[in-house]
């Protein structure tokens, strides 16, 4: 079973220092790039996160501080990652809520202004949960009848995710094989940012999804309470969320002139 691709799609998986999108760092990244003609290329990099890897994280993925001490930092790898993934759609397992937001943060820290919102995103976990509601290991066994060896290795998880999606397309006749349809089917709520702090109205206007201004238009709040914008930029929000807020602020200012 082949995906119907109009452009390349990059399946990828991250192993990290933790699960906080705003502050945790990548320790391993694996990318499987699939081209419309069916050709594939795969790259896996260990990454020095420049911060200690907590014991709890190491217990999950098996990567320790000593193992990445001499590896490149993500800032050093960012140009290669960007070159590989730009102008491609994206896919992963729980990628819409974790891998894509965290990758966006790391790229912004590395001064790579890569707008991942331009890419369609297929979240294989969401398709799985809508159909069966289990884990990646169970998905691999259920759809591919294989045992996932080296679970929580970025490369093993990435390849398994790709195989699971192909098996899902074989199993469910109602699943369309093109990326735009799969992206829509596997999407959660449509947010302006990745972390879900900024949503949209039916008219595609940005609104706050948290706090005292929940449900209110971002541009109205930022105009009425200039100090709130400063607080948001200095608070512990993801860089991509701050980028969206700044974009709304500048758009409102430009509309005045």
Tell me what pLDDT residue 133 has. Answer: 62
Locate 84 and state its tokens: 């590989």
Structural domains in the chain, CATH included, are: 9-186 (3.30.420.10), 198-255 (no CATH)
Grade residue 150 by pLDDT with cuts at 50, 70 and 90. confident
Please give the model's pTM, rounded to 2 decimal places: 0.71
The pLDDT tens digits for 204-252 are 999 999 999 999 999 999 999 989 999 999 999 999 999 999 999 998 7
- Taking the C-alpha atoms of residue 1 and residue 16, their distance in angstroms, rounded to an integer, is 32
Tell me what pLDDT residue 257 has. Answer: 57
Name the 3-class secondary structure at 191: strand
The pLDDT tens digits for 58-73 are 999 999 999 999 999 9
Task: Rounding to the nearest 10 degrees, give the CA dihedral for residues 228, 114, 96, 120.
Answer: 120
- Taking the C-alpha atoms of residue 231 and residue 237, their distance in angstroms, rounded to an integer, is 10
Q: Do the Cβ atoms of 120 and 132 come closer than 8 Å? A: no
Geometric angle at alpha carbon 39, from 137 and 74, rounded to 5°: 65
Q: Do the Cβ atoms of 74 and 47 come closer than 8 Å? A: yes
The pLDDT tens digits for 9-50 are 999 999 999 999 989 999 999 999 999 999 999 999 999 999
86: nearest Cα among 63, 60, 47, 115:
115
């Amino acid at each position: 079973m082949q995906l119907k691709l109009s452009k390349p799609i990059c399946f990828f998986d991250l192993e990290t220092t933790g699960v906080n999108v705003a502050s945790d760092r990548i320790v391993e990244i694996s990318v499987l790039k699939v081209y419309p003609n069916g050709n594939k290329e795969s790259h896996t990099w260990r990454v020095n996160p420049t911060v200690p890897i907590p014991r709890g994280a190491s217990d999950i993925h098996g990567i320790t501080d000593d193992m990445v001490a001499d590896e490149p930092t993500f800032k050093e790898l960012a140009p290669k990652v960007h070159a590989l993934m730009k102008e491609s759609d994206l896919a992963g397992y729980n990628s819409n809520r974790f891998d894509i937001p965290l990758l966006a943060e790391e790229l912004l820290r590395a001064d790579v202004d890569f707008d991942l919102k331009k890419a369609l995103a297929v979240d294989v976990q969401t398709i799985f949960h809508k159909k069966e509601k289990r884990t990646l290991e169970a998905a691999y066994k259920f759809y591919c009848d294989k045992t996932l060896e080296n679970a929580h290795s970025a490369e093993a998880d990435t390849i398994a995710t790709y195989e699971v999606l192909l098996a899902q397309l074989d199993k469910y006749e109602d699943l369309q094989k093109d990326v735009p349809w799969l992206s829509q089917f596997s999407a959660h709520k449509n947010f302006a940012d990745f972390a879900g702090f900024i949503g949209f109205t039916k008219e595609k206007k940005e609104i706050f999804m948290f706090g005292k201004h929940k449900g209110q238009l971002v541009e109205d709040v930022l105009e009425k309470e200039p100090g709130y914008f400063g607080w948001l930029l200095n608070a512990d929000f993801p860089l991509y969320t701050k980028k969206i807020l700044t974009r709304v602020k500048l758009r409102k200012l430009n509309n005045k002139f």
